[in-house]
Amino acid sequence: MKSPHPSRRRFLRGTGALIALPALESIGFRRFASAASATVAPPAKRSVFLSIGFGVTKETWYPDQTRVGADYQLSEGLAPLARHQSEITVVQGCANQFTNEAHWGSTFWLTGANRYSTPGQNMANSISADQVVAKHLGQDTRFSSIQLNASSLEGHGPGLSLAWDQRGKPVAGDNDPVKVFHKLFSADDMPLEQRQAAIAENRSVLDAVLTQARSVQTGLSRTDTEKLDEYFQGIRDIEVRLNKDEAWLDVPKAKSPLEEPEPGLKGKAEIEIMHDLIVAALQTDSTRSLGYRMPGQSLLQSLGLKPSAHNVSHYSPGERMEASKIRDRTHSQLLARLIDKLKATKEADGSSLFDHTAVAWGSNISSIHYLTNCPTILTGGGANLKLGQHLVLPKDTPLCNVWLTMLQGLGINTERHGDSTGVVKELQA
């Protein structure tokens, strides 16, 4: 069967030697020594977006605004990140200007273009930053992107994951680490011929639906025409996914670098295994774009804390505030652990996964019901950002300016994202 993606098979002309790429290693190829000098292609760029939902403890999470640049002191909530201080950047001052719902910590976080025409009517969103990455960097991987959810989603709001497609429609996510593991690494049980037949059947259904839809195109109002155009775009998106499924039918899945997760993990243990799966997905080049909505309530319960995630977000001095502080420090510990793993995972050229992965951590909500100064941490070398600093940007700087800076740093040629007004020059390395 001829490969529909010749770029997956790369050879040195005249030598017969196979050039080893991380992507090729992940699908079972081996590097072969050659008398000819073969160079290893540079590792791919990747992105990871991690959202916490309800926000942080305002009084103890943010660093002192009077100390900026590299000469700053980590706050109480960020103290567990001390060993990585030179490789993280904390950004203050950003917000999404259209945000108007203080219980939705991730719905608008990566889009910045949410809007309501009339209160109570359907919310309209736009493409999220992770899906821009998927569109540009996900063409050569089995999964254009991977969306992960917590088993309980307090403070995150509408949506099926962090991801929203180019039409502003929600993209589904997975909330079971065991299922994510099998999706990434377990062989398909269905024989190849049956999988090919299933794709062909789906294509014939799409053709029939398109034929029927086109038959009613004439004489429609402007509103109905717009609705039908959106419908056609949805069909085209399905066709793209079918093409990708077909391209990977005869390519074995990567061998997993970790054991199958235990079932039923919750809270802190759930976040740890999801982080491990993120590293494994990147390590095997199964995807280059990941997003994860992290748990609130189950995290608190796993830490032995009694207040609910919602009540902790409405903290006041006392039990709720102490629980909020413990939650903050735990999130910092978990992020530090993820950075450790990214640094410890080596690429084919000897560099680390951390060197080529852009990681963003944060929420659309700062704390309580405040929607300004979104808590934002950036790390990883994938987007060529200037790390090891504390930035205090002008109040209500579009958060999408940060995402635009990341996207351009990942090599994506785009002039704007959401409500961006330009890049953050202080972030550019």
Contacts of 351 (CB under 8 A, 6+ apart): 43
- Kindly report which listed range (42-56, 246-260, 294-308, 318-332) carries the lowest average pLDDT score: 246-260
Terminal C-alpha separation, the chain = 45
Farthest CA pair distance, the chain: 73
Q: What is the dihedral of CA 20, 22, 24, 28, to 10 degrees?
A: 110
pLDDT at 22 over 80: no
Q: 248: which 2 tokens?
A: 């990977």
What is the reported pLDDT for 122?
A: 59
pLDDT digits (tens, 9 = 90+) for 113-130: 766 544 455 567 899 999
Angle at the Cα of 376 (from 374 to 379), degrees rounded to 5? 170
pLDDT digits (tens, 9 = 90+) for 380-418: 999 999 999 999 999 999 999 999 999 999 999 999 999
Predicted TM-score of the model (pTM): 0.84
pLDDT digits (tens, 9 = 90+) for 28-87: 433 333 333 346 688 999 999 999 999 999 999 999 999 999 999 999 999 999 999 999
pLDDT digits (tens, 9 = 90+) for 333-352: 999 999 999 999 999 999 99
346 secondary structure, DSSP code: B
